[in-house]
Structures are given as C-alpha cells and as structure tokens.
A = this chain, B = another copy of it.
Amino acid sequence: MNRAAPSLPAQATQVGLAVDVAAFAMHGGELQVLLVERGELPHARDWALPGGFVQPGEELHEAALRELRTETSVDLEPRHLEQFYTFGALGRDPRGRVVSVAHLAVLPHGTVRVTAGGHTVGAAWQRAHHPPRLAFDHQAILDRALGRLQLRLEYANLALEFLPDTFTLPELQTVHEAILNRKLDKRNFRKRLLAQGNLVPSGERRSGVGRPAQLYRRAKNVRSAAL
C-alpha cells in the first residue's frame, strides 16, 4: 500500500454520477414497473424511472435505495437490488455528461402504496411491457431490465418475491407468465416447480370462483432470490 494519496489527475473527466432503478411488482396479474412523473426540467411532466444523482460519500446501491425511498416512498433492502448496466452515452442527458448506473429491483409482495416525493410530482405503477413514453434513455434501460429479470427467473426462484407468504400454484404461474410475457403449460409448470422441492403445501386452501386451490409456502431452507 502506498502512503501517498495524490488527487485525481487533470485529465480525469468529471461527470455527473447518477443511479436509476427499474423496480418491478405484480398487480392484477400483470408485471408493473414503478415510474415517477418528473417535476423539473429537463423532461418535466414526462415519466421516468426513479433515480438521481449519487451523493458524495454514498455507495451506488445506497444512492439507488435512497432515490427510491425519497421519490416513491418505497423502502427496500439491499438484497432486492442488483446493478445490471451502466448508461453513459454522450447526449443522453441534455444538462451535460451524466453516467447512470442502472439497478434492477424486485419489490416484495404488498408494496403497493407509492407517493411522490423529492423532485417528482407523481409516482405510479405502470405496465412494464407497455409503459408510457419515458424520459431520457429510460426506455432502453427498462428494456434491458426486463431482459435481466427474465434471465433471473431461471436461477433464483425470483417469482416468489412477488407473492405473499402463502400463495397458490396458479398465482405463481401467473407471475412467471407476466415476467416472460407468454403463456405456460399448467401441467408442466406444476411438475417443474414441485419437483424443485422449494414449495410445501400449507394444508389450507383458498376458495374463489371455481375449485379451491391448495396454498403453498416456500420451504424453510430456500434462500430468497439472490439478485
């Protein structure tokens, strides 16, 4: 280790460092993404992913959580957050050079209420596969986030994060279908998920319109989706 701690050399470009968060949840059988309505220029009144500038002395993931908290009132644990790509193209922000480290977040079930704060005038869930027009290059960020989310579905049992403690298999299947944006075969889906051994029947059943469905919960030893 060197004792000397010289400061940044002159040729080091100084840029604005930002984070953006693509936060997903399931509502009404559809995959939703959390968006905010900007209150300031540029792109005032446009929808955007929650995000903003990193503060001095703040880690990237801390900044992402803070922005999410202040702009949408959603308080998240670090383990539900994953950095997935950095957007730094020239001209992506009209104010100057801003590099944004984009994060993927999976919101635990029940995170429904969102309220605008900070510099935003609105915060709302929107259909992830059919969002409104987005500010900056946020559509590109969202596209890449969706791709990453689908990749994660294979490994981690990510879908469980979107559901309450107990849930039915048809509900779980709906989550998978919403993320993958396509229909799955019921029998094959159940076979695969149950064979995995991560689900245990709770004994209870849930009545609805048709035949009541068996309720399941995640097995004890299953680690919650490592993002």
Interface centre among A12, A83, A99 (most CB of B within 10 A): A12
Complex: A211 Cα to B96 Cα, angstroms: 63
The answer to whether A41 has its CB under 8 Å from any CB of chain B is yes
Residue numbers in B under 8 Å from A94 (CB-CB): 2, 4-6
What is the CB-to-nearest-CB distance from A112 to chain B, in angstroms, rounded to a whole number? 30
Q: Are B2 and A43 in contact (CB under 8 A)?
A: yes
The number of residues on chain A lying at the interface, defined by a beta carbon within 8 Å of a beta carbon of chain B, is 40
CB nearest to A11 among chain B residues: B53
Complex: A211 Cα to B59 Cα, angstroms: 58
Select which of B41, B58, B85, B99 is within 8 A of A17 by beta carbon.
Answer: B99
Residue numbers in B under 8 Å from A83 (CB-CB): 85-86
CB nearest to A57 among chain B residues: B90
Interface centre among A4, A8, A11 (most CB of B within 10 A): A8
The answer to whether A76 has its CB under 8 Å from any CB of chain B is no
The answer to whether A132 has its CB under 8 Å from any CB of chain B is no
Residue numbers in B under 8 Å from A6 (CB-CB): 41-42, 94-95
Q: Are B41 and A60 in contact (CB under 8 A)?
A: no
Select which of B13, B44, B60, B88 is within 8 A of A16 by beta carbon.
Answer: B13
The answer to whether A36 has its CB under 8 Å from any CB of chain B is no
Q: Name 11 interchain pairs, CB-CB below 8 A, sorted by A.
A: A2-B43, A5-B95, A6-B42, A6-B95, A8-B95, A11-B55, A12-B18, A14-B16, A17-B17, A57-B90, A59-B90
Query: Other than the known A9-B53, A13-B17, A14-B17, what 18 A-B pairs have Cβ atoms closer than 8 Å?
Result: A2-B43, A4-B41, A4-B94, A5-B94, A6-B41, A6-B42, A7-B96, A8-B96, A12-B17, A13-B53, A13-B54, A14-B14, A14-B15, A17-B99, A57-B90, A60-B86, A60-B88, A83-B86
Chain A positions near chain B (C-beta within 8 angstroms):
2, 4-9, 11-18, 41-44, 53-60, 83, 85-86, 88-90, 94-99, 101
